[in-house]
Amino acid sequence: MKKNLFFTLLMLPAMFVQSYAQSGKANQELLRKADETLQFAARQYKGMMTHVPDSVMPRTTNKDGSLMTSNSTWWTSGFYPGTTWYLYEYTKDPAFKAEAIKRMQLCKKEQYNTRTHDLGFMMYCPFGNALRITGDTAYKRILITSANSLATRFNSTVGCIKSWDHGTWKFPVIIDNMMNLELLNWASRETRDPRYAMIARTHANTTMEHHFRPDYSSYHVIDYDPATGDVFQKRTHQGFADSSAWSRGQAWGLYGYVVMYRDTKDKSYLNQARHIAEYILNNPHMPADLIPYWDYNAPDIPNALRDVSAGAVAASALLELSRYTNKTEGKRYWNAAEKMLTSLCSPAYLAKEGENNQFILMHSVGSLPHKSEVDVPLTYADYYFVEALLRYKQWAK
């Protein structure tokens, strides 16, 4: 009986709560701007398709302004084909479908990669969207194999999926890893094997216990003892300081717990997402346009660099979160997402046509401490921005 209940909960429809916008309060100007921006995005990516070599993926821009690419093993490799699937969904232009399928051939072998925790990004973004949009069941086996590969990194003593194999860490787990749990939940629904979802829930619960401070900001990296599960240290890798709130980390956590609630209907995950959202939206260092500084504790605020990728991820997550809360909270989250999207659609962050190596958004920050990808476009900023615009159009009806 308990097993049947588990699958009943796990397989409930993802979008079951009416959004605030569906009461007729949608921002008509933003709906118009969303269409305009998606059309611009399609033109940008049509240009990108013509100059990215067939053997690589677009990643960002080099310091000299040239295009930086990656191979399929880099953690962002799935975002470009994922974005082209979204653009195909919007435009119905078969050129985007063809481009997505072509680039996915590069990623296909990563289903066997057990050396990374990022298989959700790398595989579920392109192949999950391909399955959803086309219904082609051939993608299921690739995704299940990917879930099996990701599951090999789970340590039941720690209660987490290991993030990195490099450096002097013992068993590092980064907040980003919350984004890869959706693949595991999908695999349990598809195979009816509860093991994948058990790993996802255990990881989410352990992260909830150790990654978050009393104010619901998160550490970037928790290093565990793999033999005992004890916490060795709480650190940052891409943020300003161990004690600071790296803004994209806050967005990863928000998005991850929204997805965990969607997939399980466990209200502890909904409450966690709500708390993280309130930390972000109430932060005294949040700029008026709601596009975060790269770290909420950066020492040079208000002159600190913004991280557009953090804004895009948060906007997409807040739109979905607004569907799962009461009307008052839903309105707050929806309105915040609208403001974020309005800002991202403005000339302050949106590239000029034909520029920015055909990426859509400007002004993201990958890792400022490492002087890597600083104030540049990033492939995943584009992905979550396009996703957020499509969600807005769908849910604002």
Give the Cα separation of 368 and 239 in Å (integer): 8
Q: Are 197 and 188 contacting, i.e. CB atoms less than 8 angstroms apart?
A: yes
In a domain, 337, yes or no: yes
**Do 351 and 218 lie in a common domain?**
no
**CA quadruple 241, 243, 245, 246: dihedral sign:** positive
Q: Are 105 and 150 contacting, i.e. CB atoms less than 8 angstroms apart?
A: no
Phi-psi region at 258: left, alpha or beta (left = phi > 0; alpha = psi -120 to 50): alpha
**Do 169 and 292 lie in a common domain?**
no
Beta strand pairing call for 364-367 and 372-376: antiparallel
In a domain, 47, yes or no: no
In a domain, 22, yes or no: no
**Do 220 and 267 lie in a common domain?**
no
**Do 378 and 271 lie in a common domain?**
yes
Q: Are 184 and 201 contacting, i.e. CB atoms less than 8 angstroms apart?
A: no
**Do 217 and 256 lie in a common domain?**
no
In a domain, 23, yes or no: no
In a domain, 223, yes or no: yes
Instruction: Check if 35 is active-site.
Output: no
CATH number at residue 322: 1.50.10.10
Binding residue ranges: 118, 176, 236, 248, 252, 367
> In what helix (H) or strand (E) does residue 365 lie, and over which residues does it extend?
strand 364-367
Q: How many CB atoms lie within 10 A of CB 341?
A: 27
Q: Which of 130, 78, 136, 87 is nearest to 109 (CA)?
A: 78
**Do 225 and 262 lie in a common domain?**
no
User: What interhelical angle do 28-51 and 379-395 show, nearest 10?
Assistant: 140
Binding residue ranges for substrate: 118, 176, 236, 248, 252, 367
DSSP state of 293: B
Beta strand pairing call for 231-235 and 364-367: unpaired
**Do 277 and 215 lie in a common domain?**
no
pLDDT for position 90: 98
Tell me the two tokens of residue 128.
């999950």
In a domain, 67, yes or no: no
Per-residue pLDDT of the chain (397 residues; tens, 9 = 90+): 334 434 443 443 333 444 555 444 679 999 999 999 999 999 999 999 999 999 999 999 999 999 999 999 999 999 999 999 999 999 999 999 999 999 999 999 999 999 999 999 999 999 999 999 999 999 999 999 999 999 999 999 999 999 999 999 999 999 999 999 999 999 999 999 999 999 999 999 999 999 999 999 999 999 999 999 999 999 999 999 999 999 999 999 999 999 999 999 999 999 999 999 999 999 999 999 999 999 999 999 999 999 999 999 999 999 999 999 999 999 999 999 999 999 999 999 999 999 999 999 999 999 999 999 999 999 999 999 999 999 999 999 7
Beta strand pairing call for 154-155 and 160-161: antiparallel
Tell me the two tokens of residue 229.
């599960």
**Do 347 and 276 lie in a common domain?**
yes
Q: How many CB atoms lie within 10 A of CB 289?
A: 16
H helix runs in the chain, sequence order: 2-10, 28-51, 79-91, 94-107, 119, 129-134, 138-151, 181-191, 194-210, 247-264, 267-282, 308-321, 327-344, 379-395
pLDDT for position 397: 75
Domain encompassing residue 225: 154-177+190-235
How many domains, in total, are found in the chain? Answer: 2
Instruction: Check if 176 is active-site.
Output: yes
**Do 306 and 343 lie in a common domain?**
yes
Q: Which is the catalytic residue, given 64, 93, 118, 230?
A: 118
The neighbouring-strand residues paired with 189 are none
**Do 393 and 255 lie in a common domain?**
yes
Return phi, psi of residue 226, to 5°.
Answer: -65, -20
**Do 283 and 223 lie in a common domain?**
no
Q: How many CB atoms lie within 10 A of CB 390?
A: 18
Q: Which is the catalytic residue, given 176, 223, 295, 382?
A: 176
In a domain, 50, yes or no: no
Tell me the two tokens of residue 262.
């969607």
**Do 226 and 338 lie in a common domain?**
no
Give the Cα separation of 91 and 35 in Å (integer): 10
Distance, C-alpha 21 to centroid of its chain: 23
